[in-house]
Homo-oligomer: A and B are copies of this chain.
Amino acid sequence: MPTYKAPLRDVRFLMNEMFDFQAHFATLSNGALADSDTVDMILEGTADLCENVLAPIYQSGDQEGCHFDNGVVTTPKGYKEAYDQFVQGGWQGLSYPEQYGGQGLPMSLNLVKSEMMGTANWSFTMYPGLSSGCMNTILQYGTEEQKDTYMPKLVEGTWSGTMCLTEPQCGTDLGQVKTRAEPEADGTYKLFGTKIFISAGEHDLAENIIHIVLARLPDAPKGTKGISLFIVPKFIPQADGTIGERNPVTCGSIEHKMGIRASATAVLNFDGAIGYLIGEPNKGLNAMFTFMNTARIGTAVQGIAHAELSYQGSLPYAKERISMRALSGKKDPDKVADAIIHHADVRRLLLTQKAVAEGGRAMIYYAAQLADKMTDGILKGDHAEYEYWDDKLGFYTPILKGFLTEMGLESANLGMQVFGGHGYIKEHGMEQIVRDARISTLYEGTTGIQALDLLGRKVLLGSRGKVVRDFTGDILKFCGRQASHKNMRGFAWDLTKICAQWNTLTLRLMLMARKDRDVVSSASNDYLMYSGYAMMAYFWAQMAAKSFELLEKGGKEQPEFYQAKIQTAEFFFERLLPRAQGHAEAMIKPSKSLMQMDISNFSFDY
């Protein structure tokens, strides 16, 4: 069973050496608050919370699951106490405005915190995670009164929040939303309808739950242009800030899921529940899109979280378990067999997890800096700056969410594989990671939706390939700088080839799509995965370059740390990056081999 340990050595490498977060914070309007002492305190405090409070209830929470009894949802043993500690530590307000009781720190620190928390206990971390979605909506679209009413309690964590989008007939296709909001004489609305898959939709952790609900006004146009947003509190807030009347939004049941069993997934029934319009009528879906980037990067974190935890479980096992002799000769001659970490194929399982966890973390941390800059645009009221960075981030988002969650799921499966048959047994804790990881490619937009967003919306339609030209332009500049370092030449050459290929593939798909519209979908998954391998290769090369630089400079404690980074980069380039070639070959095939089969011919037996 993995015993979570916060990977602070790696976190500090990224924050201090790789991406110089102090220099980055200096460019932000709220960056001065994040001096290095404060950041250190946050890292140590988060590690302590994760290792000592959240990790110990990870497995027990899965075993027990959430309880549903006549509309009341009870979280597993210890979750309420852990949440209270989370609230008392002020963790919910880390990156929210001081005006509402938060610490007003840059958003990136929230992401750093949520990766550690999510790795220690993903189910738990979903409760505060959903509150963030709710807070972001209220902060950006709420009136001052709405902010004053809801933000202090949400920032404190004594109230929690949700995002109510999905309905039984629609998830991705929100144009089909049916929940309706009927205007009342007093300017409020009454909501009627059913929402499903509402994470943190009902639970016993907070005294009130604030739902952000997508619904239609009576005169709303059909489809996506007729959706409005409403705040629907479980208990109506009183003028004095306490909770009042119970609103008729009730939990009909909770789902029995494959994993994340300590996270309550509610069916919510709105039977004339009082709601307050937030933002402009019929512009609700646009508002949701505003948060899509940050919400999806929050889910991308799940990929590295499960790769990390799985690695933390399988690494010690691979060192302890002895089986057979290494092919190159006995390694543990005093034992009857060698530890399985001496077998190359077992190392492949381990290093894949390591490369995904650390490479993905680097990608997320970099994206977190972009998110900081974007948020700074909002804080400063500079819409152009906001849009510029949101656009930048928009290219990373589907790659991070789509690629990292797929790789996280693979990593969790490989961690289990290290255990052999023992991995299949619940008590070892490895199969839970696989089950928990499995949701990550499904919610917050399936991998297919990320792929379509990347290739269709961002690359082809949105920029006619410019986003890729820009990104590979950055990579090529990096390669140019590295070409003079003999250690980096191999990496730079591989990356240069990838850049040329990536642009060629993009151009080719653009031309193909003119005549073969379906190619945007038929190529999308391969394009997404190709882009993921390419992007992760760039980040591994950057980490290798930084490690070579620091080793050459000398005077570093623990030079092995940097050596291991370089070796992991080599592993990635030699063993994982080649997969991109399979995707490259498949994506440029016409859509015909997918589209030609008549629906009735998919099976002749059923």
Chain A positions within 8 Å of B, measured between CB atoms, are: 3, 5-10, 166, 170-173, 175-176, 197, 255-259, 311-312, 315-316, 319, 322-324, 326-329, 336-337, 339, 341, 343-351, 354, 409, 413, 416-417, 420-421, 423-427, 431, 434-435, 438-439, 441-443, 446-448, 451-452, 456, 517-522, 524-525, 558, 560-561, 563-564, 567-568, 570-571, 573-576, 578-583, 585-586, 589, 591-606
Q: Which of B344, B409, B431, B601 contacts A522 (CB under 8 A)?
A: B344
Selected A-B contacts with CB under 8 Å, 8 pairs: A172-B323, A327-B517, A344-B591, A345-B451, A351-B597, A417-B442, A573-B593, A575-B586
Cα A521 to Cα B345 in complex, Å, equals 6
Would you give the shortest CB distance from A466 to chain B, in whole angstroms? Answer: 21
- The chain B residue with its CB closest to the CB of A578 is B585
Would you give the shortest CB distance from A356 to chain B, in whole angstroms? Answer: 14
- The chain B residue with its CB closest to the CB of A571 is B593
In the bound complex, residues from chain B placing their C-beta under 8 Å from that of A336 are 175-176
Would you give the shortest CB distance from A3 to chain B, in whole angstroms? Answer: 8
| Contact present for B605 and A431 (CB under 8 Å) | no
In the bound complex, residues from chain B placing their C-beta under 8 Å from that of A172 are 323-324, 420
| Contact present for B344 and A257 (CB under 8 Å) | no
Contacts A348-B594, A561-B604 given; does A171 touch B571 at CB 8 Å? no
In the bound complex, residues from chain B placing their C-beta under 8 Å from that of A345 are 448, 451-452, 521-522, 524-525
Question: Closest 6 interchain pairs by CB?
Answer: A578-B585, A344-B521, A344-B522, A582-B582, A258-B431, A579-B582
| Contact present for B593 and A337 (CB under 8 Å) | no
| Contact present for A578 and B574 (CB under 8 Å) | no
Contacts A172-B323, A197-B421 given; does A315 touch B603 at CB 8 Å? yes
| Contact present for B446 and A417 (CB under 8 Å) | yes
| Contact present for B520 and A327 (CB under 8 Å) | yes
| Contact present for A424 and B578 (CB under 8 Å) | no
Q: Which of B176, B434, B579 contacts A337 (CB under 8 A)?
A: B176
Interface centre among A328, A345, A435, A574 (most CB of B within 10 A): A345
| Contact present for A319 and B599 (CB under 8 Å) | yes
- The chain B residue with its CB closest to the CB of A327 is B517
Contacts A197-B421, A255-B425, A258-B424 given; does A10 touch B604 at CB 8 Å? yes
Q: Which of B315, B324, B420, B561 contacts A442 (CB under 8 A)?
A: B420
| Contact present for A346 and B417 (CB under 8 Å) | no
| Contact present for A171 and B9 (CB under 8 Å) | no
| Contact present for A586 and B593 (CB under 8 Å) | no
| Contact present for A517 and B605 (CB under 8 Å) | no
| Contact present for A424 and B451 (CB under 8 Å) | no
| Contact present for A605 and B324 (CB under 8 Å) | no
